[in-house]
Structure 1
Amino acid sequence: MNPLTPEVLNWLTTCGWSPNRDIGGRADELIQIRLKAAERFGVTLVPTPAAVRAIRSYGELRLAHPTDRESAWIMNPVFGYVGDAVSIKELAVELGTELFPVGSEALEDGILLADERGRFFQLHHTGGYYMGENESDAFSRFLNGTALLDAEDFFV
């Protein structure tokens, strides 16, 4: 994991996170729930190391934006909608990597995803978007209101 900036550290702490936070077995339960939901649609999702790390560290937190409390990341991988596993897998194929859900975006229910390289993406009803090179970058971009980039720019 890349080091978190002081701004991100302060924000995460305000949201209930601490550097040694680990929800342990609960993370494994949440991952299994998501895997079984995908299997019902004939899709195999792979929990990427970055996704597992994010779920263990931030799982079950509501990471609200400091200036807009309605805008938040809900860090729970079980959020989804019917058939989303197919869309996640399609985006993963286009990116040439595995993707696994780590949470959702509160305003428009976009699904937050982490890939094998640690990059963060969002699956939104309007398409796929790049959120950051790693969790630290994604958090900083969220806090600073940096526009999401089209995931197509990262297709292989």
Structure 2
Amino acid sequence: MPHPTSQDARFSDLVDATLRVAGWQPGRWDIKQAEFWADALRTHVSPAGHRHSVFPAAVEAWAEFGGLHLTPTGPGRHIAPAQPHLDPLHGLHAARTLGDLGRALDTELAPLGAESGTEALLAIDTEGRIYALDHSGDWYLGPDIDEALATLITGLQPPRLAPPGGTGA
């Protein structure tokens, strides 16, 4: 069997190695755990009555990458690499926050995990786009989980989301 070229590979060598050290491998699919998270999020209601959205893009991301603690090595390209823990229950108590941002973006958001150290909340929308929310703002990590993981692991500077009616940072 020929070794895939870098053009054929799903991830760069650095991203692939970081994912594999954390326990990911091609074909990883833990739908039982993803369904557990989906049920926990669906049944959680905040004291003010806010609920989480659960949709296929989120469940698929949880099934493939859920539970991984990513610990990139080396310096980042623009900023320090993130150390995400991909567990949607990090966002259990953020239903209102995710709902508010989802409305601003005209979509729904579900929690994906959190960055260790910064505690930025990672979220996914119905189209599979990935975002980070932290004390300094909201950030666009990529159009899909693959690009978002590359952004986080390689320390690329993500663009900041523009405030409603604003132009961004």
C-alpha separation in 1, matches of 2:155 and 2:126? 25
RMSD of the TM alignment (CA)? 2.6
**SS in structure 2 of the partner of residue 107 of structure 1:** coil
C-alpha separation in 2, matches of 1:80 and 1:105? 11
**SS in structure 2 of the partner of residue 65 of structure 1:** coil
- Letter matched to residue 62 of structure 1: H
**SS in structure 1 of the partner of residue 52 of structure 2:** coil
Q: Show the counterpart of 2:132.
A: 122
| Bigger proportion of residues as strand | 1
Q: Show the counterpart of 1:140.
A: 150
Matched, 1:80 2:104: no
- 1:106 Cα deviation (Å)? 0.6
- 1:105 Cα deviation (Å)? 0.7
Deviates more, 1:42-51 or 1:112-121: 42-51
Q: How does 1:81-100 map to 2 (within 5 A)?
A: 82=93, 84-100=94-110
Matched, 1:102 2:109: no
Q: Structure 1 residues 65, 153: CA separation in 2 closer, same or farther (over 3 Å shift)?
A: farther
Residue in structure 1 matching 2:26, options 14, 19, 22: 19
Query: % of aligned pairs identical?
Result: 25
C-alpha separation in 1, matches of 2:116 and 2:164? 25
Matched, 1:52 2:59: yes
TM-score, structure 2 normalization = 0.79
Deviates more, 1:113-122 or 1:136-145: 136-145
- 1:151 Cα deviation (Å)? 1.9
- 1:38 Cα deviation (Å)? 4.1
Identify unmatched segments of 5+ residues in structure 2: 1-8, 76-80
Matched, 1:28 2:35: yes
| Bigger proportion of residues as helix | 1
**SS in structure 1 of the partner of residue 44 of structure 2:** helix
How many pairs were matched up?
153
TM-score, structure 1 normalization = 0.84
Q: Contact 1:79–1:103 at 8 Å: present in 2 too?
A: yes
Identify unmatched segments of 5+ residues in structure 1: none
